[in-house]
Amino acid sequence: MDLDQQHASGTLHADLLVLGFGKGGKAVAKQLAAGGRRVVLVERSERMYGGTCPNVGCIPTKGLVHRSGKRRPDDVPQDYYERSVEAVQAIREMMRQGNLDALEALESATVLTGTATFIDPHTVAVETGDGRVEVSADTILINTGAQPVIPDIPGLRDSRRAVLSTELIESTVLPERLVIVGGGYLGIEFAGIYNGFGSHVTLLEASPRILRREDDNVALAAEGILRDAGVEIVAGVRVTEIDDGVHGATVRYLRDGVEAAVEADTILIAAGRAPATADLALEAAGVRATAAGAVEVDEHLRTSQPHIYALGDVNGGEQHTYISLDDSRIVLDQLTGTGERSLAARVAIPHTLFMTPPLATVGLTERDARAAGRPIKVASERVADIVAMPRAYAVEETRGLMKFVIDAETDEILGAALLSVDAQELINTVALAMRHGITASQLRDSIYTHPSSTEAFNEVLGTIVRDYSALSSAAI
């Protein structure tokens, strides 16, 4: 009986069952189905084929970052924003359909749209629009991603003005006053986006400053760029209440024990994301989860059931599409390869915050390297002062800085923070150098095209601070 016949009978058996259409799961599903394995992939929503990134995450948000930066002074903000949202959503629909078509084109693959719940370690029940289907499989991948955290703020859940990022990017109405609760990557990116489109943006952050994991000089440079662009940043606050009114909402908060408030047309909740496991009934499968709801995995991404794996955001690791893709490589190596690839081999993972210009980081900060007792040298320079980076002037983006942390004894690159034009690309070169033992001197003396942003490395790495004790604590 083939998969279509089984589906009609209300039962399916597959070699591989994938729960969730995210990057890691779909990569494994496509490769195994292309090789003739029977694959069933279950996705909760028909709007999420392809996962978070192309539908409500990376692709639409970065499209809005791009378009918000291209608004001209004579563009009417509301009209320009509406056109931008429509253009981005058209790209999303193209990618969503493309992801679905690519999998359904494989003869041995079946996509079910519905909610999956474990019945036992090898079987799930899927409630689809056409009824219940039971799917059993030899191997199961949990790839259900993460979902937004809704903080326990009085008035929040009942507020008509409070939205999540997925709702905000689909609305064609530009908020005149946008208040963002949460100053992490998502909150900062959206602050830049909507400020660029013409909203008055207030960013509320609980920590004493935004980007608290970065060195002070890097964080302060990024904060200065946002403030100079018009974003109002209020750090060290605790939001206490949200009150809806006739013409907007009032967001009340405490700062240093003093009560204050800000008015909003729209309130974006950007308080982080948590693994989406609540409805899976993991206990029925004998799959252990952490207190935070993440599926527990070993270094090969196996769960407490050896035939069940967890990939992507759901396993409690870093929440990035490229991490989910690398998860798929580990799982594929278990299923079709030597089984040697593991999380232990994962080093020098880069990150990018898509503000304008972007902030990209990899490895240790200066502060963390010192705390670890590493003897270090520091190379740091403002982009506006980098003579060997004419591209920054050519594209009229000279804001930011470049900073490298280097082992003083071995010349090993320990980490970097690049706040500059093209940083999202430059950081991949640095990360690759770190993975393959390229020293700071070798990176400094390499040949790069001209004019390019990469050639800034020639100059910046030549400014290494050798007398660390001469640096003031304010520079860290």
C-alpha angle 307-313-317 in degrees, rounded to nearest 5 = 90
User: Which tens digits make up the pLDDT trace of 415-431?
Assistant: 999 999 999 999 999 99
Mark the binding-site residues for NAD(+), compressed into ranges: 182-189, 205, 272
Running DSSP on this structure, what letter comes out for residue 323?
H
- Residue closest to 196 by CA, chosen among 355, 54, 392: 355
Mean pLDDT of 237-256: 96
Mean pLDDT of 170-196: 97
How many other CB atoms sit within 10 Å of the CB of residue 442?
Answer: 13
List of domains in the chain: 3-148+274-345 (3.50.50.60), 162-271 (3.50.50.60), 351-475 (3.30.390.30)
- pLDDT exceeds cutoff 50 at 20: yes
- pLDDT exceeds cutoff 80 at 1: no
- pLDDT exceeds cutoff 50 at 99: yes
Report pLDDT for 80. 96
Q: What is the mean pLDDT of the chain?
A: 94
SS3 content of the chain, % helix, strand, coil (to 5): 35, 25, 40
User: Which tens digits make up the pLDDT trace of 197-237?
Assistant: 999 999 999 999 999 999 999 999 999 999 999 999 999 99
Residue 279 burial by Cβ neighbours in a 10 Å radius (0-12, 13-18, 19+): exposed
Task: Please give the positions annotated as active site.
Answer: 450
How far apart are alpha carbons 10 and 4 in whole angstroms? 10
Report pLDDT for 52. 87
- The phi-psi region of residue 320 (left if phi > 0; otherwise alpha if psi is between -120 and 50; otherwise beta) is beta
Residue 348 vs residues 323, 324, 408, 412, 433: alpha-carbon distances, Å? 12, 16, 19, 12, 9
Mark the binding-site residues for FAD, compressed into ranges: 62, 313
What percent of the chain has pLDDT above 90? 91
Mark the binding-site residues, compressed into ranges: 62, 182-189, 205, 272, 313
